[in-house]
Chain A
């Protein structure tokens, strides 16, 4: 069975600080895909990134970066120089299909990130 653990329920930082959101996953599949989604107060899920299990290279996109380590089954997400607009709930998710595919996604419980001005 697949499982995603986001141990941080809520994080509060002051604007411009860096913040890392942790994600630990469990799966028996050798091929799998990891995702991060942002859910602002409006509720709509915003896709941030997808990473497959064969690619452990870290990725950077502007102020966002992701650290994938198979050895520790972790896929952590860092926001550099945080901004108030980054305030949202962030979900880590897992699937054995690239797009989150035919069996749906397994979501973590989410981390509520609060960026204070």
Chain B
């Protein structure tokens, strides 16, 4: 199956700093990628849909100025958590959509904001 990577796998940062998370499709091109957020012992919630070459589509309640998404190429989408606060601590998972509309998930990034 297709492979999706995320970097970093784990990050700890101070409150007020910005953190960038990368999502890469390693062996296929993905026009569309998704960003999910998962709180401890909770389900995955779709945050936004990232479209190559255009603006991301955010789900209701997700602050687009807080969570900046850039999908600059067909194999890379980035999520930047700006001015991170402790409540932004979470597990962030991306997925990439193949041409056959199958989602493949990345391994996730654990963010801890102190």
**Chain A residues packing against B (C-beta within 8 Å):** 37, 42-45, 47, 91, 97-105, 107-110, 112
Contact = CB atoms under 8 A, between A and B. Distances in A.
B102 A42 contact: no
Nearest to B103: A100
A91 B106 CA distance: 16
Lowest 6 CB-CB distances: which A-B pairs, in order?
A99-B102, A100-B103, A99-B101, A104-B46, A43-B108, A45-B105
Given A99-B100, A112-B41, A104 B105 contact: no
A102 B107 contact: no
Contacts of A101: 97, 101, 103
Contacts of A43: 91, 93, 107-108, 110
B99 to A, nearest CB: 10
B11 interface: no
B98 interface: yes
A108 B91 CA distance: 17
Contacts of A37: 105
A110 B102 CA distance: 21
Nearest to A93: B44
A105 B41 contact: no
Nearest to A101: B101
